Structure 1
Amino acid sequence: MRVWAVANQKGGVGKTTTSIALAGLLAEAGKRVVVVDLDPHGSMTSYFGYDPDALEHSCYDLFLHKGSVPADLPGQLLLPTSNDSISLLPSSTALATLERQSPGQSGLGLVIAKTLAQLWQAFDYAIIDSPPLLGVLMVNALAASQQLVIPVQTEHLAVKGLERMVSTLAMINRSRKQALPFSIVPTLFDRRTQASLGTLRVLRDAYPQTIWNGYIPVDTRLRDASRAGLTPSQFDGKSRGVLAYRALLKHLLSQQLVAQVA
Protein backbone atom coordinates (compact mmCIF):
# COMPACT_ATOMS: atom_id res chain seq x y z
CA MET A 1 0.00 0.00 0.00
CA ARG A 2 1.08 3.55 -0.74
CA VAL A 3 -0.24 6.22 1.63
CA TRP A 4 -0.82 9.80 0.49
CA ALA A 5 -2.05 12.61 2.72
CA VAL A 6 -3.79 15.71 1.42
CA ALA A 7 -3.37 18.58 3.86
CA ASN A 8 -3.20 22.33 4.31
CA GLN A 9 -3.66 24.54 7.36
CA LYS A 10 -6.32 26.53 5.54
CA GLY A 11 -9.79 25.41 4.61
CA GLY A 12 -11.50 25.87 1.27
CA VAL A 13 -8.45 25.06 -0.86
CA GLY A 14 -9.80 21.90 -2.49
CA LYS A 15 -8.46 19.16 -0.20
CA THR A 16 -11.53 16.93 -0.38
CA THR A 17 -12.01 17.36 -4.12
CA THR A 18 -8.34 16.58 -4.67
CA SER A 19 -8.49 13.49 -2.45
CA ILE A 20 -11.56 12.08 -4.17
CA ALA A 21 -10.41 12.98 -7.68
CA LEU A 22 -7.10 11.19 -7.18
CA ALA A 23 -8.84 8.20 -5.60
CA GLY A 24 -11.21 7.99 -8.56
CA LEU A 25 -8.39 8.06 -11.09
CA LEU A 26 -6.43 5.41 -9.20
CA ALA A 27 -9.55 3.24 -9.09
CA GLU A 28 -10.01 3.79 -12.81
CA ALA A 29 -6.47 2.44 -13.26
CA GLY A 30 -7.44 -0.76 -11.45
CA LYS A 31 -6.17 0.11 -7.98
CA ARG A 32 -7.98 -0.67 -4.73
CA VAL A 33 -8.24 2.54 -2.71
CA VAL A 34 -9.25 3.38 0.84
CA VAL A 35 -10.03 7.02 1.54
CA VAL A 36 -9.72 8.20 5.14
CA ASP A 37 -11.75 11.19 6.31
CA LEU A 38 -9.99 12.76 9.28
CA ASP A 39 -11.75 16.12 9.07
CA PRO A 40 -14.44 16.53 11.77
CA HIS A 41 -16.48 18.51 9.23
CA GLY A 42 -16.80 15.25 7.29
CA SER A 43 -16.80 16.72 3.78
CA MET A 44 -15.51 13.50 2.22
CA THR A 45 -18.01 11.42 4.19
CA SER A 46 -20.85 13.71 3.07
CA TYR A 47 -19.58 13.59 -0.53
CA PHE A 48 -20.32 9.87 -0.63
CA GLY A 49 -23.79 10.28 0.83
CA TYR A 50 -23.23 9.62 4.55
CA ASP A 51 -24.18 11.95 7.38
CA PRO A 52 -21.20 12.48 9.74
CA ASP A 53 -23.63 13.64 12.45
CA ALA A 54 -25.64 10.42 12.28
CA LEU A 55 -23.02 7.68 11.81
CA GLU A 56 -22.84 5.29 14.76
CA HIS A 57 -19.24 4.30 14.00
CA SER A 58 -16.43 6.26 12.39
CA CYS A 59 -12.68 6.98 12.54
CA TYR A 60 -13.37 8.29 16.05
CA ASP A 61 -13.67 4.69 17.23
CA LEU A 62 -10.02 4.14 16.31
CA PHE A 63 -8.88 6.64 18.97
CA LEU A 64 -10.75 5.11 21.90
CA HIS A 65 -8.21 2.43 22.81
CA LYS A 66 -5.27 4.39 24.30
CA GLY A 67 -3.29 4.39 21.09
CA SER A 68 -3.77 0.73 20.17
CA VAL A 69 -6.09 -0.41 17.38
CA PRO A 70 -8.05 -3.62 18.03
CA ALA A 71 -7.70 -6.34 15.42
CA ASP A 72 -10.33 -6.19 12.70
CA LEU A 73 -11.73 -2.82 13.85
CA PRO A 74 -10.55 -0.90 10.75
CA GLY A 75 -12.21 -3.44 8.46
CA GLN A 76 -15.45 -3.18 10.41
CA LEU A 77 -15.53 0.60 9.95
CA LEU A 78 -15.18 0.55 6.16
CA LEU A 79 -18.14 1.84 4.15
CA PRO A 80 -18.83 1.37 0.42
CA THR A 81 -18.86 4.31 -1.98
CA SER A 82 -20.24 5.01 -5.44
CA ASN A 83 -17.07 3.42 -6.84
CA ASP A 84 -16.69 -0.31 -6.22
CA SER A 85 -12.89 0.05 -5.96
CA ILE A 86 -13.02 2.78 -3.28
CA SER A 87 -13.83 2.17 0.39
CA LEU A 88 -14.34 4.90 2.98
CA LEU A 89 -13.16 5.19 6.58
CA PRO A 90 -15.72 7.84 7.55
CA SER A 91 -15.49 10.88 9.76
CA SER A 92 -17.87 12.02 12.45
CA THR A 93 -18.23 15.27 14.35
CA ALA A 94 -17.00 13.44 17.47
CA LEU A 95 -13.47 13.73 16.04
CA ALA A 96 -13.56 17.40 17.04
CA THR A 97 -13.45 16.35 20.71
CA LEU A 98 -10.12 14.52 20.38
CA GLU A 99 -8.02 17.59 21.08
CA ARG A 100 -9.61 17.94 24.51
CA GLN A 101 -9.17 14.23 25.25
CA SER A 102 -5.64 13.75 23.93
CA PRO A 103 -3.49 15.58 26.55
CA GLY A 104 -1.74 13.00 28.67
CA GLN A 105 -2.48 10.12 26.32
CA SER A 106 0.59 8.71 24.61
CA GLY A 107 0.57 6.98 21.24
CA LEU A 108 -2.38 8.83 19.73
CA GLY A 109 -0.22 10.25 16.95
CA LEU A 110 0.22 6.82 15.33
CA VAL A 111 -3.36 5.54 15.42
CA ILE A 112 -3.95 5.97 11.68
CA ALA A 113 -0.58 4.43 10.82
CA LYS A 114 -1.54 1.38 12.91
CA THR A 115 -4.99 1.31 11.29
CA LEU A 116 -3.59 1.29 7.77
CA ALA A 117 -1.09 -1.40 8.75
CA GLN A 118 -4.10 -3.68 9.35
CA LEU A 119 -5.47 -2.85 5.88
CA TRP A 120 -2.10 -3.09 4.12
CA GLN A 121 -2.88 -6.16 2.00
CA ALA A 122 -6.47 -5.16 1.18
CA PHE A 123 -5.67 -1.92 -0.67
CA ASP A 124 -3.10 -0.54 -3.09
CA TYR A 125 -3.50 3.09 -1.99
CA ALA A 126 -4.75 5.04 0.99
CA ILE A 127 -5.58 8.73 0.63
CA ILE A 128 -6.07 10.71 3.84
CA ASP A 129 -8.17 13.90 3.84
CA SER A 130 -6.69 15.90 6.71
CA PRO A 131 -8.36 18.67 8.76
CA PRO A 132 -7.12 22.26 8.28
CA LEU A 133 -5.81 22.58 11.84
CA LEU A 134 -2.56 21.41 13.39
CA GLY A 135 -3.47 18.88 16.06
CA VAL A 136 -3.63 15.17 16.75
CA LEU A 137 -5.57 14.44 13.53
CA MET A 138 -3.17 16.23 11.19
CA VAL A 139 -0.22 14.69 13.05
CA ASN A 140 -1.79 11.27 12.42
CA ALA A 141 -2.19 12.00 8.72
CA LEU A 142 1.40 13.16 8.30
CA ALA A 143 2.84 10.35 10.44
CA ALA A 144 1.03 7.70 8.40
CA SER A 145 1.80 9.05 4.94
CA GLN A 146 4.64 8.45 2.53
CA GLN A 147 3.80 11.38 0.27
CA LEU A 148 2.04 14.68 0.94
CA VAL A 149 -0.13 16.73 -1.40
CA ILE A 150 -0.68 20.37 -0.39
CA PRO A 151 -3.50 22.00 -2.37
CA VAL A 152 -3.23 25.80 -2.38
CA GLN A 153 -5.97 28.05 -3.68
CA THR A 154 -4.50 30.64 -6.03
CA GLU A 155 -5.35 33.68 -3.92
CA HIS A 156 -3.24 35.75 -1.53
CA LEU A 157 -4.53 34.49 1.83
CA ALA A 158 -3.89 30.89 0.82
CA VAL A 159 -0.17 31.65 0.46
CA LYS A 160 -0.06 32.45 4.18
CA GLY A 161 -1.69 29.12 4.96
CA LEU A 162 0.95 27.40 2.85
CA GLU A 163 3.72 29.06 4.83
CA ARG A 164 2.23 27.65 8.04
CA MET A 165 1.87 24.21 6.46
CA VAL A 166 5.51 24.13 5.31
CA SER A 167 6.62 25.16 8.81
CA THR A 168 4.50 22.40 10.33
CA LEU A 169 5.99 19.89 7.93
CA ALA A 170 9.50 20.92 8.92
CA MET A 171 8.57 20.33 12.56
CA ILE A 172 7.05 16.91 11.79
CA ASN A 173 10.06 15.90 9.72
CA ARG A 174 12.34 16.34 12.73
CA SER A 175 10.57 13.39 14.37
CA ARG A 176 10.52 11.19 11.26
CA LYS A 177 13.27 8.84 10.16
CA GLN A 178 12.90 10.15 6.62
CA ALA A 179 11.64 13.54 5.43
CA LEU A 180 8.14 13.45 3.96
CA PRO A 181 8.22 14.41 0.27
CA PHE A 182 5.53 16.87 -0.76
CA SER A 183 4.02 18.50 -3.82
CA ILE A 184 2.32 21.90 -3.78
CA VAL A 185 -0.75 21.89 -6.04
CA PRO A 186 -2.27 25.22 -7.16
CA THR A 187 -6.07 24.90 -7.13
CA LEU A 188 -9.16 26.92 -8.06
CA PHE A 189 -7.12 28.72 -10.70
CA ASP A 190 -8.97 31.25 -12.84
CA ARG A 191 -6.78 32.60 -15.63
CA ARG A 192 -9.20 35.51 -16.11
CA THR A 193 -8.26 37.10 -12.77
CA GLN A 194 -5.11 38.93 -11.81
CA ALA A 195 -5.37 37.43 -8.31
CA SER A 196 -4.98 33.90 -9.66
CA LEU A 197 -2.25 34.82 -12.14
CA GLY A 198 -0.28 36.81 -9.57
CA THR A 199 -0.58 34.17 -6.85
CA LEU A 200 0.55 31.42 -9.22
CA ARG A 201 3.68 33.46 -10.05
CA VAL A 202 4.37 34.01 -6.34
CA LEU A 203 4.01 30.28 -5.59
CA ARG A 204 6.30 29.27 -8.43
CA ASP A 205 8.94 31.81 -7.41
CA ALA A 206 8.80 30.88 -3.71
CA TYR A 207 8.67 27.08 -4.07
CA PRO A 208 10.36 26.21 -7.37
CA GLN A 209 11.52 22.76 -6.24
CA THR A 210 8.27 21.50 -4.75
CA ILE A 211 5.43 23.06 -6.74
CA TRP A 212 3.73 21.02 -9.45
CA ASN A 213 4.10 22.79 -12.78
CA GLY A 214 0.39 22.52 -13.58
CA TYR A 215 -2.74 23.78 -11.82
CA ILE A 216 -6.31 22.70 -11.12
CA PRO A 217 -8.71 25.13 -12.81
CA VAL A 218 -12.05 26.35 -11.55
CA ASP A 219 -14.48 23.86 -13.07
CA THR A 220 -18.19 23.63 -12.28
CA ARG A 221 -18.14 19.96 -13.32
CA LEU A 222 -16.18 19.18 -10.16
CA ARG A 223 -18.97 20.70 -8.08
CA ASP A 224 -21.57 18.82 -10.13
CA ALA A 225 -19.72 15.55 -9.44
CA SER A 226 -19.87 16.29 -5.72
CA ARG A 227 -23.62 16.83 -5.84
CA ALA A 228 -24.00 13.50 -7.67
CA GLY A 229 -21.82 11.67 -5.12
CA LEU A 230 -19.55 10.42 -7.92
CA THR A 231 -15.81 10.79 -8.34
CA PRO A 232 -15.05 13.52 -10.90
CA SER A 233 -13.75 10.99 -13.44
CA GLN A 234 -16.93 8.91 -13.07
CA PHE A 235 -19.08 11.98 -13.60
CA ASP A 236 -17.23 13.56 -16.53
CA GLY A 237 -13.91 12.03 -17.45
CA LYS A 238 -13.19 14.68 -20.08
CA SER A 239 -13.82 17.82 -18.03
CA ARG A 240 -11.05 20.40 -17.63
CA GLY A 241 -10.74 19.60 -13.94
CA VAL A 242 -10.39 15.86 -14.47
CA LEU A 243 -7.81 16.35 -17.22
CA ALA A 244 -5.80 18.47 -14.80
CA TYR A 245 -6.08 15.84 -12.07
CA ARG A 246 -4.90 13.18 -14.54
CA ALA A 247 -1.78 15.26 -15.12
CA LEU A 248 -1.34 15.68 -11.35
CA LEU A 249 -1.65 11.93 -10.78
CA LYS A 250 1.02 11.30 -13.41
CA HIS A 251 3.30 13.74 -11.58
CA LEU A 252 2.65 12.13 -8.18
CA LEU A 253 3.33 8.65 -9.51
CA SER A 254 6.63 9.83 -10.98
CA GLN A 255 7.52 11.42 -7.62
CA GLN A 256 6.62 8.14 -5.93
CA LEU A 257 9.06 6.27 -8.17
CA VAL A 258 11.82 8.76 -7.35
CA ALA A 259 11.15 8.32 -3.62
CA GLN A 260 11.22 4.53 -3.91
CA VAL A 261 14.56 4.60 -5.73
CA ALA A 262 15.98 6.98 -3.14
Structure 2
Amino acid sequence: MKVWAVANQKGGVGKTTSSIALAGLLADAGKRVLIVDLDPHGSMTSYFGHDPDTLEHSVFDLFLHQGNVPEGLPESLLLPTSHEHIRLLPSSTALATLERQSPGQNGLGLVIAKSLAQLWNEFDYAIIDSPPLLGVLMVNAMAASQHLVIPVQTEFLALKGLERMVNTLKMVNRSRKQALPFTIVPTLFDRRTQASLGTLRVLRDTYPDTLWQAFIPVDTKLRDASRLGMVPSRNDSNSRGVIAYRALLKHLLAHVPASQVA
Protein backbone atom coordinates (compact mmCIF):
# COMPACT_ATOMS: atom_id res chain seq x y z
CA MET A 1 0.00 0.00 0.00
CA LYS A 2 1.14 3.51 -0.81
CA VAL A 3 0.18 6.14 1.76
CA TRP A 4 -0.11 9.81 0.85
CA ALA A 5 -1.10 12.60 3.19
CA VAL A 6 -2.63 15.87 2.03
CA ALA A 7 -1.87 18.69 4.45
CA ASN A 8 -1.46 22.43 4.90
CA GLN A 9 -1.66 24.55 8.03
CA LYS A 10 -3.91 26.98 6.17
CA GLY A 11 -7.53 26.08 5.55
CA GLY A 12 -9.48 26.59 2.35
CA VAL A 13 -6.67 25.58 0.00
CA GLY A 14 -8.32 22.51 -1.52
CA LYS A 15 -7.08 19.69 0.71
CA THR A 16 -10.30 17.70 0.74
CA THR A 17 -11.03 18.25 -2.94
CA SER A 18 -7.49 17.17 -3.81
CA SER A 19 -7.72 14.06 -1.61
CA ILE A 20 -11.03 12.96 -3.13
CA ALA A 21 -10.08 13.80 -6.71
CA LEU A 22 -6.87 11.77 -6.50
CA ALA A 23 -8.65 8.91 -4.73
CA GLY A 24 -11.34 8.90 -7.41
CA LEU A 25 -8.86 8.71 -10.27
CA LEU A 26 -7.00 5.84 -8.60
CA ALA A 27 -10.27 4.04 -7.94
CA ASP A 28 -11.39 4.56 -11.55
CA ALA A 29 -8.25 2.65 -12.53
CA GLY A 30 -9.39 -0.27 -10.36
CA LYS A 31 -7.18 0.46 -7.38
CA ARG A 32 -8.52 -0.26 -3.90
CA VAL A 33 -8.41 3.07 -2.12
CA LEU A 34 -8.79 3.97 1.54
CA ILE A 35 -9.48 7.60 2.42
CA VAL A 36 -8.85 8.72 5.99
CA ASP A 37 -10.56 11.84 7.34
CA LEU A 38 -8.48 13.32 10.17
CA ASP A 39 -10.12 16.76 10.09
CA PRO A 40 -12.58 17.37 12.97
CA HIS A 41 -14.67 19.41 10.53
CA GLY A 42 -15.30 16.16 8.68
CA SER A 43 -15.54 17.65 5.19
CA MET A 44 -14.48 14.40 3.52
CA THR A 45 -16.93 12.44 5.66
CA SER A 46 -19.77 14.83 4.82
CA TYR A 47 -18.82 14.73 1.12
CA PHE A 48 -19.91 11.10 0.97
CA GLY A 49 -23.14 11.59 2.89
CA HIS A 50 -22.07 10.68 6.43
CA ASP A 51 -22.71 13.13 9.26
CA PRO A 52 -19.63 13.70 11.47
CA ASP A 53 -21.90 15.20 14.15
CA THR A 54 -23.94 12.04 14.61
CA LEU A 55 -21.62 9.15 13.73
CA GLU A 56 -21.47 6.73 16.64
CA HIS A 57 -18.04 5.40 15.65
CA SER A 58 -15.22 7.12 13.80
CA VAL A 59 -11.45 7.48 13.55
CA PHE A 60 -11.67 9.01 17.04
CA ASP A 61 -12.17 5.47 18.40
CA LEU A 62 -8.62 4.60 17.33
CA PHE A 63 -7.18 7.11 19.81
CA LEU A 64 -8.95 5.72 22.88
CA HIS A 65 -6.53 2.89 23.70
CA GLN A 66 -3.39 4.59 25.07
CA GLY A 67 -1.67 4.56 21.69
CA ASN A 68 -2.51 0.92 20.96
CA VAL A 69 -4.95 -0.17 18.23
CA PRO A 70 -7.04 -3.26 19.02
CA GLU A 71 -6.94 -5.89 16.29
CA GLY A 72 -9.82 -5.50 13.86
CA LEU A 73 -10.88 -2.05 15.06
CA PRO A 74 -9.80 -0.08 11.94
CA GLU A 75 -11.67 -2.44 9.63
CA SER A 76 -14.81 -2.22 11.76
CA LEU A 77 -14.88 1.56 11.30
CA LEU A 78 -14.81 1.58 7.49
CA LEU A 79 -17.77 3.11 5.67
CA PRO A 80 -18.84 2.91 2.02
CA THR A 81 -18.66 5.81 -0.42
CA SER A 82 -20.32 6.52 -3.74
CA HIS A 83 -17.39 4.80 -5.48
CA GLU A 84 -17.26 1.03 -5.24
CA HIS A 85 -13.46 0.99 -4.93
CA ILE A 86 -13.19 3.62 -2.17
CA ARG A 87 -13.75 3.03 1.54
CA LEU A 88 -13.80 5.77 4.16
CA LEU A 89 -12.34 5.90 7.65
CA PRO A 90 -14.63 8.69 8.85
CA SER A 91 -14.07 11.69 11.05
CA SER A 92 -16.27 12.97 13.83
CA THR A 93 -16.44 16.26 15.66
CA ALA A 94 -15.14 14.42 18.75
CA LEU A 95 -11.68 14.65 17.16
CA ALA A 96 -11.64 18.31 18.15
CA THR A 97 -11.26 17.24 21.79
CA LEU A 98 -8.20 15.10 21.08
CA GLU A 99 -5.64 17.87 21.52
CA ARG A 100 -6.89 18.51 25.06
CA GLN A 101 -6.80 14.82 25.93
CA SER A 102 -3.44 13.96 24.37
CA PRO A 103 -0.94 15.61 26.76
CA GLY A 104 0.61 12.93 28.94
CA GLN A 105 -0.44 10.07 26.67
CA ASN A 106 2.51 8.38 25.01
CA GLY A 107 2.39 6.88 21.54
CA LEU A 108 -0.57 8.83 20.14
CA GLY A 109 1.51 10.08 17.21
CA LEU A 110 1.62 6.60 15.66
CA VAL A 111 -2.03 5.57 15.99
CA ILE A 112 -2.86 6.03 12.31
CA ALA A 113 0.34 4.28 11.19
CA LYS A 114 -0.57 1.30 13.41
CA SER A 115 -4.14 1.33 12.08
CA LEU A 116 -3.02 1.34 8.44
CA ALA A 117 -0.65 -1.53 9.19
CA GLN A 118 -3.71 -3.66 9.96
CA LEU A 119 -5.28 -2.74 6.62
CA TRP A 120 -2.08 -2.95 4.59
CA ASN A 121 -3.09 -5.85 2.36
CA GLU A 122 -6.68 -4.68 1.91
CA PHE A 123 -5.88 -1.54 -0.08
CA ASP A 124 -3.52 -0.36 -2.79
CA TYR A 125 -3.54 3.28 -1.68
CA ALA A 126 -4.45 5.27 1.40
CA ILE A 127 -4.97 9.03 1.20
CA ILE A 128 -5.13 10.98 4.46
CA ASP A 129 -6.95 14.32 4.65
CA SER A 130 -5.34 16.33 7.46
CA PRO A 131 -6.66 19.20 9.59
CA PRO A 132 -5.28 22.74 9.05
CA LEU A 133 -3.63 22.68 12.46
CA LEU A 134 -0.30 21.46 13.74
CA GLY A 135 -1.13 18.95 16.44
CA VAL A 136 -1.46 15.26 17.16
CA LEU A 137 -3.67 14.64 14.09
CA MET A 138 -1.31 16.25 11.58
CA VAL A 139 1.62 14.50 13.26
CA ASN A 140 -0.23 11.21 12.79
CA ALA A 141 -0.79 11.94 9.11
CA MET A 142 2.87 12.71 8.54
CA ALA A 143 4.10 9.74 10.58
CA ALA A 144 1.90 7.35 8.60
CA SER A 145 2.57 8.70 5.12
CA GLN A 146 5.27 8.02 2.57
CA HIS A 147 4.66 11.19 0.55
CA LEU A 148 3.09 14.52 1.45
CA VAL A 149 0.97 16.57 -0.92
CA ILE A 150 0.73 20.25 0.07
CA PRO A 151 -2.03 22.13 -1.77
CA VAL A 152 -1.49 25.89 -1.71
CA GLN A 153 -4.01 28.42 -2.96
CA THR A 154 -2.54 30.76 -5.54
CA GLU A 155 -3.01 33.96 -3.56
CA PHE A 156 -0.38 35.86 -1.61
CA LEU A 157 -1.78 35.22 1.88
CA ALA A 158 -1.34 31.50 1.28
CA LEU A 159 2.42 31.86 0.86
CA LYS A 160 2.94 32.49 4.57
CA GLY A 161 0.90 29.40 5.41
CA LEU A 162 3.03 27.37 3.03
CA GLU A 163 6.19 28.67 4.66
CA ARG A 164 4.87 27.54 8.06
CA MET A 165 3.98 24.14 6.62
CA VAL A 166 7.44 23.62 5.14
CA ASN A 167 9.04 24.63 8.46
CA THR A 168 6.78 22.17 10.28
CA LEU A 169 7.83 19.45 7.87
CA LYS A 170 11.49 20.18 8.56
CA MET A 171 10.79 19.85 12.28
CA VAL A 172 8.96 16.55 11.81
CA ASN A 173 11.72 15.21 9.58
CA ARG A 174 14.23 15.60 12.39
CA SER A 175 12.38 12.85 14.26
CA ARG A 176 12.01 10.51 11.27
CA LYS A 177 14.52 7.93 10.06
CA GLN A 178 13.94 9.17 6.52
CA ALA A 179 12.84 12.65 5.45
CA LEU A 180 9.24 12.79 4.26
CA PRO A 181 9.29 13.87 0.60
CA PHE A 182 6.65 16.35 -0.48
CA THR A 183 5.04 17.94 -3.51
CA ILE A 184 3.60 21.46 -3.45
CA VAL A 185 0.45 21.75 -5.58
CA PRO A 186 -0.84 25.18 -6.68
CA THR A 187 -4.64 25.21 -6.39
CA LEU A 188 -7.61 27.47 -7.11
CA PHE A 189 -5.65 29.09 -9.92
CA ASP A 190 -7.45 31.81 -11.88
CA ARG A 191 -5.37 33.08 -14.77
CA ARG A 192 -7.59 36.17 -15.01
CA THR A 193 -6.21 37.55 -11.74
CA GLN A 194 -2.83 39.10 -11.07
CA ALA A 195 -2.88 37.48 -7.61
CA SER A 196 -2.90 33.97 -9.09
CA LEU A 197 -0.31 34.78 -11.74
CA GLY A 198 1.99 36.53 -9.28
CA THR A 199 1.70 33.83 -6.63
CA LEU A 200 2.47 31.11 -9.15
CA ARG A 201 5.64 32.99 -10.18
CA VAL A 202 6.73 33.28 -6.54
CA LEU A 203 6.08 29.57 -5.95
CA ARG A 204 8.13 28.61 -8.99
CA ASP A 205 10.99 30.86 -7.91
CA THR A 206 10.95 29.82 -4.23
CA TYR A 207 10.26 26.07 -4.47
CA PRO A 208 11.67 24.98 -7.85
CA ASP A 209 12.53 21.45 -6.75
CA THR A 210 9.39 20.49 -4.83
CA LEU A 211 6.69 22.38 -6.76
CA TRP A 212 4.48 20.63 -9.29
CA GLN A 213 4.95 23.02 -12.16
CA ALA A 214 1.33 22.96 -13.36
CA PHE A 215 -1.73 23.96 -11.31
CA ILE A 216 -5.31 23.05 -10.37
CA PRO A 217 -7.66 25.67 -11.85
CA VAL A 218 -10.79 27.12 -10.32
CA ASP A 219 -13.54 24.86 -11.68
CA THR A 220 -17.21 24.93 -10.68
CA LYS A 221 -17.51 21.29 -11.77
CA LEU A 222 -15.47 20.34 -8.69
CA ARG A 223 -18.06 22.07 -6.50
CA ASP A 224 -20.86 20.32 -8.41
CA ALA A 225 -19.26 16.94 -7.71
CA SER A 226 -19.12 17.78 -4.00
CA ARG A 227 -22.80 18.67 -3.97
CA LEU A 228 -23.64 15.34 -5.61
CA GLY A 229 -21.34 13.31 -3.36
CA MET A 230 -19.48 11.94 -6.39
CA VAL A 231 -15.76 11.84 -7.06
CA PRO A 232 -15.04 14.60 -9.61
CA SER A 233 -14.02 12.17 -12.35
CA ARG A 234 -17.41 10.43 -12.14
CA ASN A 235 -19.24 13.75 -12.35
CA ASP A 236 -17.37 15.08 -15.39
CA SER A 237 -14.27 13.22 -16.51
CA ASN A 238 -13.30 15.94 -18.98
CA SER A 239 -13.68 18.99 -16.77
CA ARG A 240 -10.68 21.31 -16.41
CA GLY A 241 -10.23 20.34 -12.76
CA VAL A 242 -10.26 16.59 -13.43
CA ILE A 243 -7.83 16.95 -16.34
CA ALA A 244 -5.49 18.84 -14.01
CA TYR A 245 -5.80 16.27 -11.22
CA ARG A 246 -5.15 13.52 -13.75
CA ALA A 247 -1.90 15.25 -14.69
CA LEU A 248 -1.02 15.65 -11.01
CA LEU A 249 -1.62 11.96 -10.35
CA LYS A 250 0.58 11.05 -13.30
CA HIS A 251 3.30 13.28 -11.85
CA LEU A 252 2.99 11.73 -8.39
CA LEU A 253 3.06 8.18 -9.72
CA ALA A 254 6.16 8.99 -11.77
CA HIS A 255 8.05 10.76 -9.00
CA VAL A 256 7.13 8.83 -5.84
CA PRO A 257 9.76 6.06 -5.58
CA ALA A 258 8.53 2.48 -5.77
CA SER A 259 10.69 1.81 -2.70
CA GLN A 260 8.07 3.63 -0.65
CA VAL A 261 5.78 0.65 -0.99
CA ALA A 262 6.18 -1.66 1.98
TM-score over 0.5 for the pair: yes
1:111 corresponds to:
111
What is the Cα deviation at residue 165 of structure 1? Answer: 0.2
- The 5 A counterparts of 1:190-205 are 190-205=190-205
Q: May I ask how many residue pairs the two structures share in their alignment?
A: 261
1:2 corresponds to:
2
1:219 corresponds to:
219
Residue type of the partner of 1:38? L
2:257 corresponds to:
257
1:74 corresponds to:
74
Q: Determine if the alignment matches structure 1 residue 41 to structure 2 residue 41.
A: yes
| Other structure's SS at 1:167 match | helix
Aligned equivalents of 2:248 and 2:153: distance in 1? 15
For structure 2, which runs of at least 5 residues remain unmatched after alignment? none
| Compared CA separation, residues 185 and 259, structure 1 to 2 (3 A) | farther
1:95 corresponds to:
95
- The 5 A counterparts of 1:115-126 are 115-126=115-126
Percent identical pairs in the alignment equals: 80
8 Å contact kept, 2:2–2:260: no
- The 5 A counterparts of 1:220-239 are 220-239=220-239
Post-superposition CA distance 1:29-63 (Å, at most 9, x none)? 11000000000000000000011000000000000
Aligned equivalents of 2:89 and 2:116: distance in 1? 10
| Other structure's SS at 2:256 match | helix
8 Å contact kept, 2:33–2:85: yes
1:64 corresponds to:
64
What is the Cα deviation at residue 256 of structure 1? Answer: 1.4
What is the Cα deviation at residue 234 of structure 1? Answer: 0.6
Residue type of the partner of 2:79? L
Residue type of the partner of 1:249? L
2:162 corresponds to:
162
Aligned equivalents of 2:108 and 2:258: distance in 1? 31
| Other structure's SS at 1:70 match | coil
- The 5 A counterparts of 1:172-211 are 172-211=172-211
2:50 corresponds to:
50
Q: Determine if the alignment matches structure 1 residue 171 to structure 2 residue 144.
A: no
What is the Cα deviation at residue 260 of structure 1? Answer: 4.7
1:139 corresponds to:
139
Superposition TM-score, scaled by structure 1 size: 0.98
| Other structure's SS at 1:210 match | coil
For structure 1, which runs of at least 5 residues remain unmatched after alignment? none
Q: CA RMSD in A?
A: 1.0
| Other structure's SS at 1:61 match | helix
8 Å contact kept, 2:146–2:260: no
Residue type of the partner of 1:62? L
Residue type of the partner of 2:138? M
Aligned equivalents of 2:258 and 2:110: distance in 1? 26
Post-superposition CA distance 1:155-195 (Å, at most 9, x none)? 01110000000000000000000000100000000000000
| Other structure's SS at 2:83 match | coil
Aligned equivalents of 1:164 and 1:191: distance in 2? 26
8 Å contact kept, 2:149–2:185: yes
